[in-house]
Amino acid sequence: MKNKFLSNILLTFVWVALTGDFSFENYLFGFFLNFHILWLITAGRGKTRYFLIVPKTILLLLFFLYELVKANLQVAYEVITPRLNMTPGIIMVPLEVKSDLAITVLANMISLTPGTLSIDVSNDKKVLFVHAMYIDDKEKFIRSIKDGFERRILEVFKS
């Protein structure tokens, strides 16, 4: 997997140098172009884990950006309205992710989303404690984290 990623990065730099356009968009285009070229070249040759992880990682990042915008709008609305509609609380979220890296990614994505904050992980790594500004229904909140961030993180780390 590392060799394919490094090959993709190297080919991206070659693409950018050949085109002479050093913009972010050209790097991005070169990365995706070379990703598809590598996928075509290596199709049917052993494990293709790299070609499963990259799309899932991109989907995870797009989902995170969606949640980030949604939470920012919710918090901004809370700030500019005269009444407080918050129902803050601390929730214990049971974890399916097991590795330290996956737990760290989950906790950081939750903390980077406005209105939520990861407080702690239990010693046995089975529960994540999360503070949230809006907890109307505890089960719905837990389900939103498990079906949202955690499910996508599991897809990336199990690929």
Q: How many CB atoms lie within 10 A of CB 140?
A: 9
SS3 of 135, please?
A: coil
pTM: 0.78
Q: Distance of CA 30 to CAs 4, 18, 34, 75, Å?
A: 15, 11, 6, 37
pLDDT on residue 46: 64
Per-position pLDDT tens, the chain of length 159: 567 878 888 888 898 999 999 899 988 899 888 888 888 887 777 667 788 888 999 999 999 999 999 999 998 998 898 888 888 999 999 999 999 999 999 999 999 999 999 999 999 999 999 999 989 899 999 999 999 999 999 999 885
Q: Distance of CA 86 to CAs 29, 115, 136, Å?
A: 42, 10, 9
DSSP class of residue 92 equals E
